[in-house]
Amino acid sequence: MPDISLTFQFHQPRIPREFRFEQHQQGLSDVDLEKQVIAEFSNTLLIPFMNMLGKSFQKASPGMGFSVSGTLLDQLEEWQPDGLSSLKGIWQRPGIEILPQPYSRTA
């Protein structure tokens, strides 16, 4: 049987808000929308997916790599710590590699 390696890449960019010059001190990101998006991502995709991986590979796991952008890590840490904990739980398993990725990107 051939060896298999799975790689998962996660990224969530900052969401720009409608910008008006007189509001420049509020920043460029739509923080309320980002919180909603991260909550939905974490609760409907990330946590269930990490739980499924954990149950599926209890005894042995194929080689897996996870690449997570810095912007997503920051957003999870600030608004969805349970999502970040689910990632950390998988990352501590044998055969898991953390792959480098830029902090942020435009595409």
Residues 82 and 45: beta-carbon distance below 8 Å: no
For strands 5-10 and 63-68, give the pairing. parallel
pLDDT per position as a tens digit, 3-13: 788 899 999 88
pLDDT of residue 62: 77
Least confident of 23-32, 63-72, 89-98: 23-32
pLDDT per position as a tens digit, 16-56: 777 666 666 666 678 889 999 999 999 999 999 999 988 88
